[in-house]
Amino acid sequence: MAEKTSTGLDLNMANALCYAPFVGWVAGIVLLIVEKNKEVKWHALHGLLLSLALGVVSWVMALTIILAILSPFVWVAGLILQLVLAVKAYQGQTMKLPLVSGWADKISKKF
């Protein structure tokens, strides 16, 4: 039987939900606020920071015409990355990303 979180979700499902494309940031905020499990909170924070980083990079790229053309590729790469992270989280694995994982580690120690 799968381990349950304080929200009643399976641990792997809660972790994967944090990376769900387009809605993962909402799940991340909710789970970050209500969840007691530190692993789920880390994945929620990791997913939120990833979404924020992708948004900032895409926004900065959109400031110039030449880079604005490449901005959709950032979104596609981000979508693929979120799907891979969701699958890995569901399988019980943790993928560490440069910068984002370091930030998540530092911030999650405060919870």
pLDDT beneath 70, residues of the chain: 1
Give the pLDDT of residue 79: 94
Give a yes or no: residue 71 inside a domain.
yes
- What's the predicted TM-score (pTM) here? 0.88
Spatial contact of 91 and 44, defined as CB atoms under 8 Å apart: no
Give a yes or no: residue 35 inside a domain.
yes
Give the pLDDT of residue 52: 93
Q: Which domain holds residue 30?
A: 11-99
Give the pLDDT of residue 1: 53
Give a yes or no: residue 111 inside a domain.
no
Count the domains in the chain. 1
Spatial contact of 33 and 95, defined as CB atoms under 8 Å apart: no
Give the pLDDT of residue 67: 84
Give a yes or no: residue 4 inside a domain.
no
* Three-state secondary structure of 57-99: HHHHHCCCHHHHHHHHHHHHHHHHHHHHHHHHHHCCCCCCCCC
Give a yes or no: residue 106 inside a domain.
no
Give a yes or no: residue 49 inside a domain.
yes
Give the pLDDT of residue 81: 94
Residue type at position 58:
S
Handedness of CA 65, 67, 70, 73 (dihedral sign): negative
Give a yes or no: residue 28 inside a domain.
yes
